[in-house]
Amino acid sequence: MNEQTLDLAGVGIGPFNLSLAAHLDAIPAVQARFFDQCERFDWHPGLMLPDAELQTSFLKDLVTATDPTSRWSFLSYLVAHKRFYKFLNAEFEATPRKEFAKYLEWTANGLSDLQFNARVKEVSFGRSAFTVRLDDQDYSSQHIALGIGHAPCLPTWASSLIGDNCFHSSQATQHLGAMSGERIVVIGGGQSGAEIVLNLLSKGQSPAKEIKWISRRQNFEPLDATPFTNELFTPEYVDRFRRLGEERRQSLLSHHKLASDGASASTLRAIYRRLYALRHLEGSDADVALLPHRDVIQADRQKDEFKLVMRNGFDGGIEIIFAKTIILATGYAFKIPDFLAPLKDRIALDRSGNFILGDDFSVKWDGPRQNHIFALNAGRHSYGIAEPQLSLMAWRSAVIVNALLRRRHFDLDMPPSIMRWATSGDGFSEAPGASIPIAG
Ligand SMILES: Cc1cc2nc3c(=O)[nH]c(=O)nc-3n(C[C@H](O)[C@H](O)[C@H](O)COP(=O)(O)OP(=O)(O)OC[C@H]3O[C@@H](n4cnc5c(N)ncnc54)[C@H](O)[C@@H]3O)c2cc1C
Ligand SMILES: NC(=O)c1ccc[n+]([C@@H]2O[C@H](COP(=O)([O-])OP(=O)(O)OC[C@H]3O[C@@H](n4cnc5c(N)ncnc54)[C@H](OP(=O)(O)O)[C@@H]3O)[C@@H](O)[C@H]2O)c1
């Protein structure tokens, strides 16, 4: 079997490793190659519903925050496609997700170090390098960049029900078109659930007889994208967050949930308006019910339908409903991949079973210090709620490039933030000794 030697092997080509590849494109000294099991780049096609919008600014693209003259910026894409003026004239309040996906695909098609149809089935370590095993080829590499994204989260009761009539939101586009006149239950009050409900209520769809939208949250709560909340999506905040103890970080993450996982206010507004039109203007007989503060604790198949049992957090009651179709918009989570099995006993995990990650996004393991496993989108517990979002992807790529080159190729120093998150060390020297940092 032919074995090639690399400085960096990237596993997975989603936006995050793509951003790293785009940064490395201008640094020929680093021999990198990125692998993805899919046939081609396609950004979350299972939820690419018409009118879906980006939840972040297009300036938070693959490169602009750290390398604004790179040819792989969103603006560069617009110019290359001769639609710079048209894009501006369209005055989008939020960038269409389809447009951003086309930009990502254009970048993927333009970079030479990407290999699709290439599933990584094993990563092991020899004396001084990793071996990355594909189906038909091996690569030897000094470093690894894990960019495999997140896996769908399924409630435990759902595992035996999965099929054409009970599916995760990541497969929505495969199923939604074929559904009509059914009793549909959508579980999940985040952006995926909201987009699916809006789609089901849309004019072009055959109206379902009955639609129920369930959220475990107390209400259908909006994404908080206001300025001080957006400060959580800055390198300065990540730096402060990282230094906290594990328990304190966990507690902050639960408070920050709606800064990353709420539904966009525009989607919630569109759903409300659509419900108004159906009920008051169009005289529709569709039976639509919104069920906030419900935890679906059990479901089973009964003949040709499902019976769901929910706990109502508002008044403590137990409710039972029936559905022909269940759509599980129940989110995603990082899972340590099976292909790392040969390194399992060498990788350190924290008490919750997560990677222990360094300032440079490298995983703590017992191998030589000159061999890194960089993990992208695997450290919400470590870097905070910005980690799974596009917001800081360019910055994270630049941090990793600096670590690879072992020099400050990108100047990532920041002036002290106006937000004084920590007790000390934020660049303020007032009243030294007046406040004492509390551990943990
Ligand atoms: C529908 C949706 C919309 C989103 N929109 C936004 C948004 O507007 N703004 C925002 O900030 N965030 C958004 N996010 C969150 C986040 O930005 C995206 O999930 C983003 O795609 C994460 O990028 P990634 O590179 O980590 O993973 P992914 O995009 O999931 O890519 C991972 C890749 O790894 C490949 N892979 C996995 N295992 C292997 C293997 N063994 N061998 C080879 N390849 C492998 C997969 O095929 C996949 O292509 C969205 C998330 C979803 C689900
Ligand atoms: N267009 C876009 O930009 C776009 C589209 C889709 C997704 N996204 C992003 O992708 C990420 C994932 O979004 P997502 O909506 O897929 O997931 P999510 O934000 O994690 O939402 C999952 C929802 O499912 C609920 N849930 C889980 N199990 C449940 C149960 N048994 N009973 C009732 N409710 C249950 C959760 O409740 P709890 O909160 O109580 O756990 C939560 O409301 C987010 O960052 C989102 O912003 C972006």
HEC readout, 68-102: CCCCCCHHHHHHHCCCHHHHHHCCCCCCEHHHHHH
What pLDDT does residue 417 have?
Answer: 87
Measure the CA–CA gap between 392 and 16, rounded to whole angstroms: 10
Average pLDDT over residues 52-58: 97
Sign of the alpha-carbon torsion through 233, 239, 243, 246: positive
**Does the structure show a pLDDT above 60 at 70?**
yes
Q: Quick one: what percent of the chain has pLDDT higher than 90?
A: 88
Q: Quick one: 116 and 17 in the same domain?
A: yes
Which H/E stretch holds residue 200?
Answer: helix 191-201
- Cβ contact 322:307 at 8 Å: yes
Whose CA is closest to atom 36 on ligand 2?
188
Q: Quick one: 338 and 277 in the same domain?
A: no
Average pLDDT over residues 164-181: 89
- Cβ contact 329:188 at 8 Å: yes
Which of 288, 305, 328 is a domain's end point? 328
Average pLDDT over residues 280-299: 94
Pocket-forming residues, ligand 2, beta carbon under 6 Å: 47, 52-55, 97, 155, 169, 187-193, 195, 214-217, 260-261, 295-296, 329-332
What pLDDT does residue 208 have?
Answer: 75
Sign of the alpha-carbon torsion through 417, 422, 427, 429: positive
Ligand nearest to the backbone CA of 56: 1
Measure the CA–CA gap between 24 and 143, rounded to whole angstroms: 14
Measure the CA–CA gap between 266 and 214, rounded to whole angstroms: 19
What pLDDT does residue 285 have?
Answer: 86
pLDDT tens per residue, range 146-165: 999 999 999 999 999 999 99
pLDDT-derived band at 206 (thresholds 50, 70, 90) equals low
Sign of the alpha-carbon torsion through 34, 36, 40, 42: negative
Phi, psi of 258 (to 5 degrees): -75, -10
Whose CA is closest to atom 35 on ligand 1?
12
In 3D space, the residue among 397, 414, 433, 413 whose CA is nearest the CA of residue 60 turns out to be 397
Measure the CA–CA gap between 353 and 5, rounded to whole angstroms: 32
Ligand nearest to the backbone CA of 198: 2
Which H/E stretch holds residue 110?
Answer: helix 97-110
- 84 CA → ligand 1 middle, Å: 26
**Does the structure show a pLDDT above 70 at 260?**
yes
Measure the CA–CA gap between 343 and 362, rounded to whole angstroms: 14
Radius of gyration of the chain (CA): 23
Domain count, the chain: 2
Establish if 297 belongs to a structural domain. Answer: yes
Q: Quick one: 163 and 291 in the same domain?
A: yes
Token couple for 239: 């730096």
pLDDT-derived band at 121 (thresholds 50, 70, 90) equals very high
Q: Quick one: 28 and 86 in the same domain?
A: yes
Average pLDDT over residues 26-54: 97
In 3D space, the residue among 5, 18, 20 whose CA is nearest the CA of residue 374 turns out to be 20
pLDDT-derived band at 1 (thresholds 50, 70, 90) equals very low
**Does the structure show a pLDDT above 70 at 205?**
no
Establish if 282 belongs to a structural domain. Answer: yes
Establish if 343 belongs to a structural domain. Answer: yes
- 261 CA → ligand 2 middle, Å: 6
- Which residue's entry shows tokens 């709620």? 385
- 314 CA → ligand 1 middle, Å: 34
Ligand 1 pocket mutation, candidates 139, 233, 261, 377, criterion most atoms within 8 A of CB: 377
Measure the CA–CA gap between 118 and 137, rounded to whole angstroms: 9
- Cβ contact 64:397 at 8 Å: no
Which of 328, 347, 381 is a domain's end point? 328
Token couple for 310: 């929910």
pLDDT-derived band at 283 (thresholds 50, 70, 90) equals confident
Q: What is the mean pLDDT of the chain?
A: 93
Ligand 2 atom with least separation from CA of 331? 17
- Cβ contact 306:322 at 8 Å: yes
**Does the structure show a pLDDT above 80 at 131?**
yes
Pocket-forming residues, ligand 1, beta carbon under 6 Å: 11-17, 35-38, 44, 47, 54-56, 119-120, 147-149, 339, 376-377, 388-391
Q: Quick one: 167 and 71 in the same domain?
A: no
Establish if 124 belongs to a structural domain. Answer: yes
Whose CA is closest to atom 48 on ligand 2?
191
Ligand nearest to the backbone CA of 44: 1
Number of H helices, E strands in the chain: 13, 17
- 216 CA → ligand 2 middle, Å: 10
Establish if 359 belongs to a structural domain. Answer: yes
- 181 CA → ligand 1 middle, Å: 32
Q: Quick one: 393 and 287 in the same domain?
A: no
Establish if 245 belongs to a structural domain. Answer: no
Asked whether the whole model's pTM tops 0.85, one would answer yes
Measure the CA–CA gap between 243 and 310, rounded to whole angstroms: 39
**Does the structure show a pLDDT above 90 at 440?**
no
Average pLDDT over residues 291-315: 97
* Structural domain harbouring 138: 3-150+334-405
Q: Quick one: 212 and 324 in the same domain?
A: yes
Ligand nearest to the backbone CA of 190: 2
Q: Quick one: 367 and 348 in the same domain?
A: yes
Which of 298, 328, 358 is a domain's end point? 328
Average pLDDT over residues 263-289: 94
**Does the structure show a pLDDT above 90 at 401?**
yes
Establish if 428 belongs to a structural domain. Answer: no
Which H/E stretch holds residue 292?
Answer: none
Q: Is 288 exposed, middle or buried (0-12, 13-18, 19+ CB in 10 A)?
A: buried
Measure the CA–CA gap between 410 and 227, rounded to whole angstroms: 26
Q: Quick one: 358 and 293 in the same domain?
A: no
**302-306, long-range: CB < 8 A, 24+ apart:** 305/183, 306/161, 306/165, 306/166, 306/185
Q: Quick one: 111 and 130 in the same domain?
A: yes
What pLDDT does residue 286 have?
Answer: 87
- 3 CA → ligand 2 middle, Å: 42
CB-based contacts of 283: which residues, under 8 Å, 6+ apart?
none
Q: For the chain, what's the residue count?
A: 440
CB atoms near residue 80 (< 10 Å)? 13
Establish if 231 belongs to a structural domain. Answer: no
pLDDT-derived band at 138 (thresholds 50, 70, 90) equals very high
28-37, 413-422, 423-432: lowest mean pLDDT where? 423-432
pLDDT higher for 243 or 427? 243
**Does the structure show a pLDDT above 80 at 207?**
no
- 387 CA → ligand 1 middle, Å: 12
Ligand 1 atom with least separation from CA of 100? 8
Token couple for 437: 């940092």
- 102 CA → ligand 1 middle, Å: 15
What pLDDT does residue 439 have?
Answer: 41
CB-based contacts of 407: which residues, under 8 Å, 6+ apart?
none
- Cβ contact 23:398 at 8 Å: yes
- Cβ contact 57:183 at 8 Å: no
Measure the CA–CA gap between 109 and 331, rounded to whole angstroms: 29
pLDDT tens per residue, range 104-116: 999 999 999 999 9
Q: Quick one: 279 and 390 in the same domain?
A: no
What pLDDT does residue 428 have?
Answer: 45
Q: Quick one: 174 and 128 in the same domain?
A: no
Measure the CA–CA gap between 424 and 440, rounded to whole angstroms: 15
Task: CATH number of the domain at 163, please.
Answer: 3.50.50.60
